[in-house]
Amino acid sequence: MSPRREPVPFAFVSEADRFRSNVTPPPRERASVGRMAGRCLLGLTIVAGLVGSLILGMPALSISHSPAQTPQSQASPGH
Digit-coded pLDDT (tens) for 50-79: 999 999 988 888 887 655 555 666 666 666
Report H helices in 1-79. Answer: 11-14, 33-61
Query: Residue 9's pLDDT is what?
Result: 61
Mean pLDDT of the chain, nearest integer = 77
Residue 6 pLDDT exceeds 80: no
Is-contact 8 14, C-beta < 8 A?
Answer: yes
**Segment 19-53, tens digit of pLDDT:** 567 788 889 899 899 999 999 999 999 999 999 99
- What is the spatial distance between Cα 29 and Cα 35, in angstroms, rounded to a whole number? 12
